[in-house]
Amino acid sequence: MEIKKIIIVEDHQLFREGLKAMLGSRNDLEVIAEAEDGLEALEVIRENYPDLLLLDLSMPRLGGISVINEVKRLYPGIAILALTIHESDQYVLEAFNAGVNGYCIKDASREELLVAISSVLKGHTYISPGIADNVMEGYIEGRKRIKTRSSWDSITQREREVLKLLGEGYLNRQIADMLHISVKTVEKHRSNIMGKLDLHSTAALTSFAIEKGLVQKNN
């Protein structure tokens, strides 16, 4: 019997430990590593190539969507199951556009989570039944509604990463080190973000990041 290797990426320790304990009862699944934020996740994945990534979308430093983009670029063979509290169209579509293989809500039963894991490991797409059918039908069939392009839509993925870190209180030098870019590049991204969103202070950027769910209020 082939044992599938799993990495759990989740910033809440109790939830992470609960997942690990649940999966530990299976003889066909093995949790080989854990990470509590997006940047740590990328480091752990480089060291321990898994079959499956169980990934929260809302995390410190580097968010789940950015992790999905990076993992699918570097390691397309790794299956990714998003395990999240978010049920809105925005999160679902962004996750699948980034390349996630499955999307499961955190309040799912043990049985549902195991079905989700089994599905994505077999190469299938999994969506929690709790997510509105029309959201996924629209995605799968390519019938997305045409919406007016907003200022938020114009923010690139890298700019969202920078905005998230700014919202979490990191300085330009710290952001540059975490994203492996120059301070000058961070400053340019910051300037672009403020111009596109018509925001003029760090406090305004932080409030906007919280509003968009990039930063949790208790962070």
158 and 136 part of one domain: no
136 and 156 part of one domain: no
Give the bridge partners for 83, in sequence order.
104
Is residue 108 domain-resident?
Answer: yes
* Total-model pTM: 0.69
Tell me, what CATH number does 207's domain have?
A: 1.10.10.10
Sign of CA dihedral 63, 175, 7, 36: negative
Is residue 145 domain-resident?
Answer: no
Per-residue pLDDT of the chain (219 residues; tens, 9 = 90+): 689 999 999 988 888 899 999 898 888 999 999 999 888 999 999 999 999 999 998 887 888 888 999 999 999 999 999 998 877 777 788 888 889 999 998 888 889 999 999 999 999 989 888 675 556 565 555 544 434 346 777 888 888 889 999 988 999 999 998 888 899 999 999 998 988 888 888 888 888 888 888 887 654
Is residue 146 domain-resident?
Answer: no
131 and 60 part of one domain: yes
> What is the span of the domain harbouring residue 120?
4-140
Is residue 216 domain-resident?
Answer: no
55 and 89 part of one domain: yes
128 and 199 part of one domain: no
| DSSP H or E stretch at residue 9 | strand 4-9
Give the bridge partners for 103, in sequence order.
82, 127
Phi, psi of 83 (to 5 degrees): -125, 105
Domain-ending residue, one of 100, 119, 140: 140
Domain-ending residue, one of 88, 116, 140: 140
162 and 135 part of one domain: no
pLDDT at residue number 217: 65
Is residue 219 domain-resident?
Answer: no
168 and 191 part of one domain: yes
Q: Which two tokens stand for residue 21?
A: 């304990």
Distances, alpha carbon 211 to alpha carbons 57, 98, 135, 161, 216, in Å:
15, 21, 22, 15, 9
Is residue 94 domain-resident?
Answer: yes
pLDDT at residue number 133: 59
Total of domains in the chain: 2
Domain-ending residue, one of 119, 140, 161: 140
175 and 135 part of one domain: no
120 and 78 part of one domain: yes
Is residue 186 domain-resident?
Answer: yes
185 and 104 part of one domain: no
13 and 88 part of one domain: yes
Distance CA 93, CA 12 (A): 24
Question: Identity (one letter) of the amino acid at 18?
Answer: G
Is residue 217 domain-resident?
Answer: no
Give the bridge partners for 171, in sequence order.
none
35 and 121 part of one domain: yes
Tell me, what CATH number does 65's domain have?
A: 3.40.50.2300
